Amino acid sequence: MAQQALPERDARLGKPLGLSGDEGARTALRWKGGGRVPGRAVSGVALLLPGGEASGVRRPSPVPALAVRPLAAKLAKVGRPEGLAAHVVHYRCRGWNGAAAHPAEDAAWAVAEVVRRYGDVPVCLVGTGMGARAALHAAGHPAVNSVLGIAPWLPEPGDEPGDLEPVKQLVGRHVLLVHGTNDERTDPDLSYRFAERAKKINRDTCRFEVHSDGHSLFQHRAEVHALAADFMLGSLFARDFARPVKDALAAPPPLGLRMPLASGFGKSLRH
């Protein structure tokens, strides 16, 4: 059966979180003395890439974008002193669609749009499920300095035409994957095998496991959000990583790719 044509619609960035002012301007505005005055320039951007479906060219459901908004708000809050802007990416369609990889194209467009709006600033791609796969694919853009994949959807080799999932584009980037060991929607073993291949060519790759948690990581959401914030601050703004992240990046496989996410991680970042 012939593949459906993609409707004529554009991907877009959601409104910026964290820094007020004209989202198209590089300079942020802040409130002072009852009025807005030029404030700190945007010095880094987090792009949130929601989940989706294996196939489908219909307009995306709003649910996945709403699901990543709390994490976007968390990153915007902790990154505000550093000049972070966070955007949720809205795809053209809801499906990956095989070789077309529409969300990966949209992620690459979003990075280019960030450069157009804000100038030469580093970008952290943060994806969940299908969005994590899109983030990993789009990591080759020169502006991308880090990728965080949460419960990434990485198909079994042979499920789709073509070679294994690419990893060469990750060279020179910080890469962190986090996956629940009880995830029944996206296979944690596949993310481990992907991380193994990525680690061979990029030492700045690590992976955390959230024991006994499922795809949504609901039981340990606070810890996952704290881990995301720590990784984003360290990779974009050269802050010191938390000790578990340092250890995971430094450790060889399998230790650095099966690092347990401890209960209570990052309590100081939750306020």
267-270 long-range Cβ contacts below 8 angstroms, 24+ apart:
267/226, 269/78, 269/226, 269/229, 269/230, 270/222, 270/225, 270/226
The three-class DSSP label of residue 30 is: strand
pLDDT at 27: 42
pTM over 0.75: yes
Alpha helices in the chain (DSSP H): 62-79, 102-118, 130-137, 188-201, 221-237, 243-250
Q: What distance in Å separates the CA atoms of residue 228 and residue 216, rounded to the nearest whole number? A: 15
Closest Cα partner for 150 from 203, 95, 191? Answer: 191
Cβ contact 199:171 at 8 Å: no
- Residue spans of the domains in the chain: they are 13-26+37-264
Q: pLDDT tens digits, residue range 110-145?
A: 999 999 999 999 999 999 999 999 999 999 999 999
Q: What is the mean pLDDT of the chain?
A: 89
For domain 13-26+37-264, the CATH architecture is: 3-Layer(aba) Sandwich (3.40)
Q: What distance in Å separates the CA atoms of residue 55 and residue 65, rounded to the nearest whole number? A: 17
- Residue 63 neighbours by CB under 8 Å, 6+ apart: none
Q: pLDDT tens digits, residue range 222-245?
A: 999 999 999 999 999 999 999 999
Whether 162 has a pLDDT exceeding 90, the answer reads: no
- β-pairing, 44-49 vs 84-90, is parallel
pLDDT at 7: 67
- When pLDDT is averaged across residues 21-35 and rounded to a whole number, the result is 38
